[in-house]
A = this chain, B = another copy of it.
Amino acid sequence: MGIVQRKEREKEEMRRLILDAALRLFREHGYDGVSIRNIAEAIEYSPGTIYLYYKDKSEIFFALQFEAAALKRDHLLPVANIENPWERLIEFGRRYIDFGMKHPDLYDLLFITRSPMEYIENQECWNLGLATHSFFVETVQACVDQRYFKSTDTDTIAYTLWCHAHGLVSLFIRERMRMYPEEKRQELAQKSFAMIVKMAESI
């Protein structure tokens, strides 16, 4: 009776096929620049078939968003092994920015795109992001506890650092740094990270 297992596997493969094609196309042309017919054509199936695996276009987007959140968590996970909270915090920041730079499309999906996620909640994805955010705030809290900062306002410190990192990544990937030559942008980003770390030392 391996049939039901095989069917399950085939269904999973098909969903994988759709997701991979969709991510590639979203990457290249953006959410609105890609049609269900485009995805169907890419995987050599008819448009209607897509709807046997995802109830609509936004559900494909949600699935990708969830994967992005998981990938981001995995990208940040190694940080948890760093004992010293101050070093952990710095490495968290470095890796957060690194993730955004390396996977602009995924970062976009998670923190910038408005597409569908406006009204419907992508609950499981949100929970994943929440966990990562909690870990971040806890790290800041540990720094506060060990007197790495003069201030004891954990939330504001965490939020301020997050603003900087998010601003840095999103200005970068949404092309709002065109006043600086290509090669200067990366350099500025690195120097700015170093600067915010220095600044953080004196909060």
Within 61-100 of A, Cβ neighbours of B (below 8 Å) are at none
CB proximity of A183 to chain B, nearest CB, Å: 13
What is the interface of chain A, defined by CB distance below 8 A to chain B? Answer: 30, 32, 111-112, 114, 118, 126, 130, 133, 151, 153, 155-157, 159-160, 162-168, 170-171, 174-176, 178-180, 188, 191-192, 195-196, 198-200, 202-203
Report the Cα distance A199→B153, complex, angstroms: 14
CB proximity of A8 to chain B, nearest CB, Å: 35
Could you tell me the dominant secondary structure of chain A's interface residues?
A: helix
Query: Hey, which chain B residues are within 8 Å of A191, CB to CB?
Result: 153, 156, 159
Quickly give the copy total for this chain: 2
What are 12 A-B interface contacts by the 8 Å CB criterion?
A32-B32, A112-B112, A112-B170, A114-B174, A130-B179, A160-B195, A162-B167, A163-B164, A163-B167, A163-B168, A163-B171, A164-B164
Report the Cα distance A32→B112, complex, angstroms: 16
CB proximity of A109 to chain B, nearest CB, Å: 12
